[in-house]
Chains A and B, each alone.
Chain A
Amino acid sequence: MSVVIIGLSIGFLLFLLAAGLTLIFGMLGVVNFAHGSLYMVGAYLTYTVFQLTGSFWIALALVPVLGAMLGMIMEMLALRPVYGREHYYQILLTFGFILIIEELVRVFWGLDYKEVNPPAILASPISVLDATISPYRLFVIGFGAAIAGLLFYVLENTRVGIIVRAASVDPETVQVLGLDVGRVRTGVFAFGAGLAALGGAVGAPLFPVELGMGFNIIIDCFIVIIIGGLGSIRGAIVAALLIGMVRAIGYTAAPDWVDFITYSVLIVVLLTRPEGLFGRSRRVA
């Protein structure tokens, strides 16, 4: 029982990050390597806001906005000048961001790790069917599921969602129809960055807030989007929950082999369905 809760909570946290990655990739054709760094910044900002206000909820509301602003600055200053060039320049830029952001975090927050406690009402463990469950993890699952539902609704049913989907498929036509694709790109990148920071806020009470936390999780996210099929939100959620469950079961059954098992899932998918579970048949990026 608790294994399921842990697996689902890791899965939904991974989904928050993978969804942003996938949206940005669909819209800009860029795999944002700095996504893990934005997640880390989100966690550190949560720590600071928590220290200043004493409220986790204020942090949860404020941090994604700050993350989105950071993303907007990154997109406008650095990515915008290189859209016309080959794709790998954009990848390389986001790679450079990792180094800059890690350094800034080191300057502002220092080297030692920080701790964020879950809010008081979610702190004390509850027991369900003779298993002890952290209510904060239940909150993460509910919150993640709500964000996932909202994302589906917005993308499928609203005007903004239609514009984003249209601009991913055929930016020229959208531009000709009188919409500013540049602003859509900035918006999507900022939104993805906000989701990453939100992931950091949600993850802060679960893991120690430290340098390098972004890189550990981003590798899992890359595995999620390779398995799910890059550009597919549906694939992201299935794959995120799959990896979350694999990790949770691995921690209880064979803690030494967790990473090995996770990578094995990736290898099996690559060998049997290289385009990913929900990917289009040909993968060119």
Chain B
Amino acid sequence: MTRLASTALGWAVLLALLVAIPNLGLGAERILLINLILVYSIFAVGFELSFGLTGLLSLGHGAMFGVGGYALALLTIRLAWPFELALLMAGLAGAVLAAVIGFFALRLTGIFFSLTTLAFAQLAYILASTKLRDITGGVDGLAGVPRPTLFGVDFYDDGNFYLYLAVLLIVMLALAGLLRASPFGQVLTGIRVNDTRVEQLGWNVRRFRHIAFAISGFYSGIAGALLGALLFYVSPQMLHWTTSGDVLIMTLVGGVGTLFGPLIGVTIFEALKDELGRLTEHWYGILGLIFVLSTIFLPHGAMGLISAVMRRAVPRS
């Protein structure tokens, strides 16, 4: 199968699923789970732009996610801004924070970059939970985050909010797909594969990394804001290192370096979390074990498995 054909197939499957889900008559709990999957998918798609496309392993994406959530909560609750404008600002807040962290962390490469992002995210977490208590509500977080009111649809109904999230995911995913295929995305791929060569070709590698990191921050901010709206609540837990770890696990389990891999990873992660959480309180440790095993035995994640099966079923002409 050609690259174009598999992308088209991926889109077809995704759109068919998104259209089918409201007609399955699922219970409220399932719809909430699916909405969570949609929100985290946007987060993981953004993380993948930094990690899978550009090769920047950030361990601090929780900071951008959380800042997006707080930006939306504060703008809508305190300043009564319209939802969509606040959502846009949440994305920009994530992008600005990523740009600031990148300003320092991108002086380093490889693992040093990762460690520095982790340190900055931890600083943001400490600030949100203690120092900025007056604004952020401390460890209690902020409750009463609103949902959008568009075209007179009641988005406080989870079934309706699903439509809102699904449309946003399609738009964000399409933009990510365009970005990957664009000349800009080609340069980012080049940087991941061989940054020295790209530098020698005359591209400003650090500036490209910086822009990619900020775009990734924009996605994270949007996703964090949407999680706040979905749960009516934001808390410093969103900035915690486990959030940064979760999105990494999701992306890796799904398959690094692909457009749809993160979506599959998020679905596996959230479904496992939901099912294991029902069975045992030790779900997080079991998730860690599954993550370790899939890192050893399935290095290309679920997408690697799928494409291996597809290659066998549909031989390349």
Contact = CB atoms under 8 A, between A and B. Distances in A.
Interface stretch (A92-100, A118-126, A129-137): A92-100
B288 A87 contact: no
A263 interface: yes
Interface string A201-212: 000000000000
A100 B120 CA distance: 25
A12 B128 CA distance: 30
B122 interface: yes
B116 interface: yes
B291 interface: yes
Interface in A48-105: 78, 81-82, 85, 87-89, 91-93, 95-100, 102-104
Interface stretch (B75-83, B107-115, B225-233): B107-115
A85 B105 CA distance: 25
A95 B58 CA distance: 13
A196 interface: no
Contacts of A259: 123, 126
B119 A78 contact: no
Contact of B123 (A96, A102, A260): A260
Contacts of A215: 241
B203 interface: no
B299 interface: yes
A131 B261 CA distance: 61
Contact of A222 (B119, B123, B284, B296): B119
A93 B292 contact: yes
A274 B107 contact: yes
A23 interface: no
A247 to B, nearest CB: 14
A92 B248 contact: yes
Contact of B118 (A85, A98, A219): A219
A100 B288 contact: yes
Interface string A160-195: 000000000000000000000000000000000000
Contacts of A230: 111-112
Interface string B275-314: 0000000101111110110011001000000000000000
A256 interface: yes
A10 interface: no
Contacts of A260: 123, 131
A270 B252 CA distance: 29
Chain B contact residues, majority secondary structure: helix
Chain A contact residues, majority secondary structure: helix
Contact of B114 (A91, A98, A99, A266): A91
Nearest to A90: B295
B104 interface: yes
A226 interface: yes
A266 B295 CA distance: 32
B73 interface: no
A253 interface: no
Interface residues of B, number: 37
Nearest to A79: B296
Given A259-B126, A284-B110, A285-B109, A99 B285 contact: yes
B104 A92 contact: no
B124 to A, nearest CB: 10
B296 A93 contact: yes
A96 B295 contact: yes
Contacts of B289: 96, 99-100
Nearest to A102: B285
Interface string B236-271: 000001000100110010000000000000000000
A99 B246 CA distance: 11
A89 B123 contact: no
19 contacts: A82-B296, A87-B110, A89-B299, A91-B114, A93-B295, A98-B288, A99-B284, A100-B285, A106-B285, A215-B241, A219-B119, A222-B118, A230-B112, A259-B123, A270-B104, A270-B105, A283-B108, A284-B109, A285-B109
Given A31-B115, A219-B119, A222-B115, 15 more contacts: A88-B57, A96-B249, A97-B292, A99-B245, A99-B284, A103-B284, A103-B286, A219-B122, A226-B119, A230-B112, A263-B119, A270-B104, A270-B116, A283-B108, A284-B110
Interface of A: 31, 78, 81-82, 85, 87-89, 91-93, 95-100, 102-104, 106-107, 215, 219, 222-223, 225-226, 230, 256, 259-260, 263, 266-267, 270-271, 274, 283-285
Interface of B: 57, 104-105, 107-112, 114-116, 118-120, 122-123, 126, 130-131, 241, 245, 248-249, 252, 282, 284-289, 291-292, 295-296, 299
